[in-house]
């Protein structure tokens, strides 16, 4: 079976530079549009003619590989479908399934990333191209949209297109459907053993040390960082000698403005909090739609941990100091970003 | 004492005990192999055992102490603990056989001054299956929710007795091997029975991460531990992970996702008609799976499995000659036809 699958060669024409890049497709589409042409046709008759000729040429160029593109897409789809149906893929020990992540999870998240929250990202050069790194970010928004958005930002816009491995709350992995999908997307439960294992394996890992305290804080406390757990993430980074990259996310607080928390209902349902937002639960299912706030993600300068000695990970003074440094950096960046933002929804 | 001279193997009529005996008799440095089981071996197995001496005895009987003493046994391999006994009295009988048998055997070992090594075949089931546990279990980590019933609980107890023996007789090297779930063409295991039917009921919304061990590797690990005589606990498992959904697809089975109680109901029907049984622990295993860290196996025990999890599973599918419901050939040809159509249409 393995021999057969490798021997498939599909002759396609005019497809050399267009392999599966979603971004480039959008760029060519905008180029095709007359308004995007460099010179508006406002000169002499020859100039106008030249521009029209150029336009036609481009149109021909663009439409010719389009059929090839379609065939190629069908080919890619068929290949994906065959591999899924016959179980011909591999997952790592965390259950990370790169094929599934690229084909199912990321495309779904890209809609929110590009169209809904229109995320703007900066400071990606602070992330390492190879090897371990620990991204530490603020957590907000009642539902953790910030984690997946962070993973899309790194995957699509970082030059090395790295997979960001999130350390998520245990409740995620209790849930049917959500739990396995999170595992297949490469995320795991936030515990010391898994954090150490990811970093030791040279993975780019992200953690939200605020946890539920940040996620479920009332709207009036927006952009006020909560306590950073017990600083376990610093110990993990020190142990792996991985750089800590502070990350500030603006816009996540406004997706579900939490006006109140019904503690009794939360206890009955066994969830960390039961939010009341302007639309939830009054508007029913509509209340589940996140508000389309404009997001900014800024990665800060990495904090190098390789200079600390072996005992630093077990030294509470060192971990507290670094925790405070990271927390302060994120808080300051949040204020700077907020100061620059003119409108919550328009940016 | 570098090599064992007289080895006693329990559970000699079961797969592991029997084939381990067959392997040990081929080792010229071992003078004498004694195979023990409560039932008589089949003709084929008896031939394989060769120069080994078969003693028909129940290890729950103090008679076993006499066998150990009289033959000057220096190495005892306890491979008799069984998770499944076809056509027997169910859980209570199984517990009686496993726990009481192990207690008697270890008591006999403690009394016999000649015994220097005890190798216990344990199982990865002692870790339980829990979404809150770290992705891989290490030997010294314990589960957040240790198993409370069934074979897993029995195995925890048996390991406890073995460690007790090691404490009371410090001159005995007690090796505990926690074998991952075994699979292979010859062995009858829970997973093999689970995948026997054309339609496999799965737990809706969950996908288990499975680490497997090829039956030949299990034998190899037991043999290695017998020869090495290293005190300690070792996780034994193949490299890599297979997802339950992936395993079902690779075996060409159809998955039938059912809610948790549905699997239970279907199982009761199957229990009434066939000799199959899924208990609480197995249901958890089929929902969440389990994987172990095998660093200690590689570095300290010096054992390297020959099959990865995927290879072991493929060998099982090939060896059993499972007829796939969704044949890979059919999928491949469908892909080719689809591509041909797409190309004709595209041009």
Model confidence pLDDT, tens digit, residues A224-267: 999 998 889 999 999 999 999 999 999 999 999 999 999 999 99
Residue A3 contacts B where some CB pair is shorter than 8 Å: no
Tell which residue, B54, B45, B39, B56, has the closest CA to residue B22. Answer: B45
- Cβ–Cβ gap B131/A189 under 8 Å: yes
Cβ atoms B306, B220 nearer than 8 A: yes
Is residue A47 situated within a structural domain?
A: yes
Minimal CA separation from A58 to chain B, in Å: 20
Minimal CA separation from A268 to chain B, in Å: 21
Contacts of A199 in chain B (CB under 8 A): none
Element (H, E) at B152: helix B150-168
**pLDDT tens figures, B21-80:** 999 999 999 999 999 998 898 999 999 999 999 999 999 888 999 999 999 999 999 998
| DSSP secondary structure code for residue B11 in this structure | S
Within this chain, do residues A161 and A47 fall inside the same structural domain, yes or no? no
| DSSP secondary structure code for residue A138 in this structure | -
User: Quick one: tokens of A314?
Assistant: 């077990």
Of A30, A63, A85, which residue is a domain's last? A85
Residue A95 contacts B where some CB pair is shorter than 8 Å: yes
Is residue A269 situated within a structural domain?
A: no
Within this chain, do residues A211 and A184 fall inside the same structural domain, yes or no? yes
Kindly list the strands in the beta sheet with A164-168, ordered across the sheet, starting from the edge strand earlier in the chain: A120-122, A296-299, A244-250, A133-137, A204-207, A164-168, A188-189
* CATH code (residue A196): 3.40.1130.10
Within this chain, do residues A103 and A230 fall inside the same structural domain, yes or no? yes
Within this chain, do residues A30 and A115 fall inside the same structural domain, yes or no? no
Q: In this predicted structure, what is the pLDDT of residue A11?
A: 53
User: Quick one: tokens of B20?
Assistant: 């381990």
Q: Per mean pLDDT, which range of B150-164, B191-205, B213-227, B236-250 is the poorest?
A: B191-205
Question: In this complex, which of B241, B310, B332 lies closest to A82 when CB atoms are compared?
Answer: B332
Within this chain, do residues A71 and A132 fall inside the same structural domain, yes or no? no
What does the pLDDT average to over B281-300? 90
CB proximity under 8 Å: B 63-92 to A? none
Residue A148 contacts B where some CB pair is shorter than 8 Å: no
Within this chain, do residues A164 and A308 fall inside the same structural domain, yes or no? yes
Domain count of chain A? 2
Within this chain, do residues A44 and A134 fall inside the same structural domain, yes or no? no
Nearest chain A residue to B203 by CA: give it.
Answer: A176
Within this chain, do residues A27 and A59 fall inside the same structural domain, yes or no? yes
The reported pTM is 0.84
Within this chain, do residues A242 and A331 fall inside the same structural domain, yes or no? yes
β-partners of residue B257 are: B202
- Cβ–Cβ gap B346/A71 under 8 Å: yes
- Cβ–Cβ gap A193/B342 under 8 Å: no
Minimal CA separation from B80 to chain A, in Å: 30
Q: In this predicted structure, what is the pLDDT of residue A55?
A: 55
Contacts of A90 in chain B (CB under 8 A): 240, 310
Residue A89 contacts B where some CB pair is shorter than 8 Å: yes
- Cβ–Cβ gap B343/A10 under 8 Å: yes
Residuewise pLDDT in 10s, chain A (347 residues):
444 445 555 555 544 444 444 444 444 444 444 444 444 444 556 666 666 666 556 544 444 444 567 888 888 888 888 899 889 999 999 999 999 999 999 999 999 999 999 999 999 999 999 999 999 999 999 999 999 999 999 999 999 999 999 999 999 998 889 999 999 999 999 999 999 999 999 999 999 999 999 999 999 999 999 999 888 999 999 999 999 999 999 999 999 999 999 999 999 998 999 999 999 888 888 989 999 999 999 999 999 999 998 899 999 999 999 999 999 999 999 999 999 999 999 87
Within this chain, do residues A178 and A298 fall inside the same structural domain, yes or no? yes
Residue A10 contacts B where some CB pair is shorter than 8 Å: yes
Mutate to test the interface with A, among B141, B207, B242 (most CBs of A within 10 A): B207
- Cβ–Cβ gap A81/B246 under 8 Å: no
- Cβ–Cβ gap A179/B131 under 8 Å: yes
Minimal CA separation from B129 to chain A, in Å: 12
Of A55, A85, A115, which residue is a domain's last? A85
Q: Where are the domains of chain B?
A: 6-322
CB proximity under 8 Å: B 191-220 to A? 204-207, 209, 211
What does the pLDDT average to over B255-284? 69
Is residue A329 situated within a structural domain?
A: yes
Domain range enclosing A104: 98-255+290-340
Within this chain, do residues A66 and A171 fall inside the same structural domain, yes or no? no
Q: In this predicted structure, what is the pLDDT of residue A28?
A: 44
Residue B326 contacts A where some CB pair is shorter than 8 Å: yes
In angstroms, rounded to a whole number, what is the distance separating the alpha carbons of residues B255 and B198? 9
Q: Strand B75-78 relative to strand B117-123: parallel, antiparallel, unpaired?
A: parallel
Q: In this predicted structure, what is the pLDDT of residue B18?
A: 94
Within this chain, do residues A199 and A326 fall inside the same structural domain, yes or no? yes
For B6-322, CATH number? 3.40.50.720
Cβ burial, residue A245 (10 Å; 0-12/13-18/19+):
buried
């Amino acid at each position: 079976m393995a021999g057969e699958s490798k021997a498939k060669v599909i002759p396609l024409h005019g497809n050399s530079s267009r392999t599966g890049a979603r971004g480039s497709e959008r760029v060519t589409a905008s180029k095709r549009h007359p308004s995007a042409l460099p010179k508006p046709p406002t000169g002499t008759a020859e100039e106008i003619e030249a521009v029209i000729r150029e336009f036609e040429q481009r149109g021909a160029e663009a439409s010719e590989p389009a059929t090839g593109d379609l065939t190629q897409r069908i080919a890619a789809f068929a290949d994906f479908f065959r591999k899924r149906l016959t179980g011909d893929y591999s997952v790592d020990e965390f259950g990370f399934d790169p094929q599934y992540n690229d084909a199912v999870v990321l495309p779904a998240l890209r809609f929110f990333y590009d169209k809904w929250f229109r995320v703007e990202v900066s400071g990606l050069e602070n992330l390492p191209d190879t090897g371990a790194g620990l991204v530490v970010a603020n957590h907000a928004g009642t539902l953790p949209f910030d984690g997946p958005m962070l993973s899309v930002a790194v995957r699509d816009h970082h030059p090395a297109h790295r997979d960001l491995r999130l350390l998520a709350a245990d409740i995620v992995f209790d849930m049917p459907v959500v739990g396995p999908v999170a595992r297949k997307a490469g995320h795991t439960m936030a515990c010391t053993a898994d954090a150490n294992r990811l970093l030791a394996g040279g993975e780019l890992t992200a953690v939200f040390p605020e946890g539920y305290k940040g996620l479920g804080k009332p709207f009036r406390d927006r952009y006020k960082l909560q306590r950073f757990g017990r600083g376990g993430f610093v110990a993990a980074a020190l142990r792996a000698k991985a750089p800590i990259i502070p990350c500030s996310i603006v816009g996540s607080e406004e997706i579900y403005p939490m006006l109140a928390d019904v503690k009794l209902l939360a206890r009955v349902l066994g969830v960390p909090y039961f939010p009341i937002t302007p639309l939830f639960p009054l508007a029913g299912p509509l209340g589940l739609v996140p508000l389309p706030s404009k997001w900014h993600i800024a990665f800060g300068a990495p904090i190098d941990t390789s200079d600390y000695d072996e005992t630093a990970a077990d030294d509470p003074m060192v971990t507290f100091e670094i925790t405070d440094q990271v927390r302060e950096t994120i808080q300051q960046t949040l204020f700077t970003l907020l100061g620059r933002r003119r409108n919550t929804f328009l940016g | 004492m570098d090599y064992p001279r007289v080895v006693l193997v329990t559970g000699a009529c079961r797969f592991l005990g029997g084939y381990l005996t067959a392997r040990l008799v081929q080792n010229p440095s071992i003078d004498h192999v004694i195979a023990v089981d409560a039932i008589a071996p089949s003709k084929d197995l008896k031939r394989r055992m060769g120069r080994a001496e078969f003693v028909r005895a129940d290890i729950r009987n103090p008679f076993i102490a006499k066998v150990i003493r009289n033959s000057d046994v220096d190495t005892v391999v306890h491979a008799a603990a069984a998770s499944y006994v076809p056509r027997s009295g169910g859980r209570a009988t199984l517990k009686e056989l496993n726990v009481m048998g192990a207690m008697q055997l270890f008591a006999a070992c403690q009394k016999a001054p000649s015994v220097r090594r005890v190798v216990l075949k344990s199982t990865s089931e002692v870790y339980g299956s829990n979404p809150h546990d770290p992705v891989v279990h290490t030997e010294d980590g314990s589960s957040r929710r240790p198993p409370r019933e069934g074979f897993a609980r029995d195995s925890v107890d048996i390991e406890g007795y073995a460690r007790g023996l090691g404490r009371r007789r410090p001159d005995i090297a007690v090796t505990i091997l926690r074998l991952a779930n075994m699979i292979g063409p010859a062995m009858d295991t829970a997973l093999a029975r689970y995948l026997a039917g054309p339609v496999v009921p799965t737990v809706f919304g969950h996908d288990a991460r499975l680490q497997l061990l090829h039956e030949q590797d299990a034998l190899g690990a037991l043999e290695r531990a017998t020869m090495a005589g290293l005190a300690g606990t070792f996780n034994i498992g193949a490299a890599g992970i297979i997802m339950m959904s992936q395993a079902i697809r690779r075996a060409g089975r159809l998955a039938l996702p059912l809610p948790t109680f549905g699997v239970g109901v279907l199982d009761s029907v199957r229990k009434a008609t066939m000799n199959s049984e899924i208990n609480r622990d197995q249901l958890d295993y089929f929902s969440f799976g389990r994987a172990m860290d095998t660093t200690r196996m590689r570095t300290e025990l010096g054992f390297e499995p020959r099959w990865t999890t995927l290879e072991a599973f493929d060998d099982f599918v090939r060896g059993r000659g499972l007829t796939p419901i969704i044949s890979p050939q059919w999928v491949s040809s469908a892909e080719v036809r689809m591509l041909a159509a797409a190309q004709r249409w595209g041009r």
